[in-house]
């Protein structure tokens, strides 16, 4: 059975860059956001979202993710409702995914909301990626073409770096990607021998 490692960090921290680096090294990495998008296309999930959030967030029977995001990122109670629908489906999808990698020494589960979802309890080790707030905002503005206020709303809907660090086994400060990769290499050596 592989060691299952949670990889997390706030929006714009660079956790996906670290996840992609791990993939380039040959490690299996489950990207929870991608899985969430996939499970949100399942009919039973669509039906549950329609029931909780109404038909106005659908256009031609397709979920308008931007409308849904505006609802949930501006309202923590609405976010909890959405998470209660999506997280159990993602958890089941991960269990199915994991069966393909039982021979791997390490597998990684990348998620921005590892702690908020409560799924952090399911992992052997947790790595948190952090970066200064302004650097995170700049990365997201460049990547998503968002407005600063939208980015701050998403940051404020997540745990703080301090909260994540307090429950993590390892922390990567991502000021410079080459240094962050070096730190990840150090952690991999520890994880492979422990």
CA distance 120 to 145: 30
Q: Is there a binding annotation on residue 95?
A: no
Tell me the residue range of the domain where 178 lies. Answer: 3-193
How many domains are contained in the chain?
Answer: 1
**pLDDT tens per residue across all 194 residues of the chain:** 899 999 999 999 999 999 999 999 999 999 999 999 999 889 999 999 999 998 899 888 788 888 898 888 778 889 889 989 999 999 999 999 999 999 999 999 999 889 988 888 899 999 999 999 999 999 999 888 788 988 888 888 789 999 999 999 999 999 999 999 999 999 999 999 87
Residue pair 48/85 in contact (Cβ under 8 Å)? The answer is yes
Q: Is there a binding annotation on residue 6?
A: no
- Among the residues of 99-159, which ranges form H helices? 133-144, 148-156
Q: Is there a binding annotation on residue 160?
A: no
Beta strands in the chain (DSSP E): 3-8, 29-31, 58-59, 62-63, 106-110, 125-130, 170-173
Nearest to 40 by CA among 97, 20, 32: 32
This prediction's pTM: 0.89
CATH number at residue 54: 3.40.50.300
Q: Is there a binding annotation on residue 12?
A: yes
């Amino acid at each position: 059975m592989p060691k299952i490692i949670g990889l997390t960090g706030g929006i714009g921290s660079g956790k996906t860059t670290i996840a992609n680096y791990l993939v380039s090294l040959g490690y299996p990495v489950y990207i929870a956001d991608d899985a969430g998008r996939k499970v949100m296309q399942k009919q039973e999930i669509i039906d549950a979202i329609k029931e909780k959030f109404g038909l106005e967030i659908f256009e031609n029977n397709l979920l308008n993710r931007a409308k849904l995001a505006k609802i949930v990122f501006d309202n923590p109670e609405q976010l909890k409702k959405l998470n209660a629908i999506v997280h159990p489906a993602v958890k089941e999808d991960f269990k199915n995914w994991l069966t393909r990698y039982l021979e791997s020494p390490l597998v990684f589960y990348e998620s921005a909301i590892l702690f908020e979802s409560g799924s952090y309890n399911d992992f052997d080790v947790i790595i948190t990626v952090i970066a200064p707030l302004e650097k995170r905002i700049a990365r997201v503005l460049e990547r998503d073409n968002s407005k600063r206020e939208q980015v701050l709303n998403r940051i404020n809907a997540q745990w703080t770096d301090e909260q994540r660090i307090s429950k993590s086994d390892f922390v990567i400060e991502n000021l410079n990607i080459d240094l962050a990769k070096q730190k990840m290499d150090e952690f991999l050596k520890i994880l492979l021998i422990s």
